[in-house]
Amino acid sequence: MTREEFNAFCSAMTATSHVVQWGDADVWKVGGKVFALCGWYEGGPAFTFKVGEIAFEVLGDAPGVRPAPYLASRGMKWLQVYEKGALSEESLREHIEESYRLVVAKLTKKVRAELGLEGL
């Protein structure tokens, strides 16, 4: 997945917003909360997303995947895919979608309603 494909994929999700911050990273949010970002690692894109406990344990030691710098060190379950091909593009998309769902689930009922996300 390229950075442009990542941005197009994230922009297609309901009620998302995009900012560039943290050293030129593309940061995607829903309800003001980060669900995915794309930065750089040794000249290539590095994709970071929130995961559940099991995915964190299973994928955290996979080649080309690591606990996300700064985010995972604060006790949160975030992974970074920094090596092309470490996950298939389909798997990467599924993890980004799951990250979106995890973040939406933590939003208040009121915010979900305001954003049209009641069913997620």
- The CATH number of the domain holding residue 94 is 3.90.1150.30
The whole-number pLDDT of residue 73 equals 67
Domain assignment present for 57 = yes
Quick one: pLDDT at residue 75?
Answer: 66
Helix (H) or strand (E) holding 103: helix 89-106
* 105 is a domain residue: yes
The number of domains in the chain is: 1
Residue 119 lies in a domain: no
Residue 11 lies in a domain: yes
Q: How many other CB atoms are there within 10 angstroms of residue 56's CB atom?
A: 17
58 is in which domain, residue-wise?
A: 3-114
Ramachandran angles phi, psi of 7, nearest 5°: -65, -40
> Mean pLDDT throughout 31-48?
94
Whether residue 28 lies inside any domain: the answer is yes
0.85 cut: is pTM over it? yes
What tens digit of pLDDT does each residue of 65-101 get?
Answer: 999 988 766 667 999 999 999 999 999 999 999 999 9
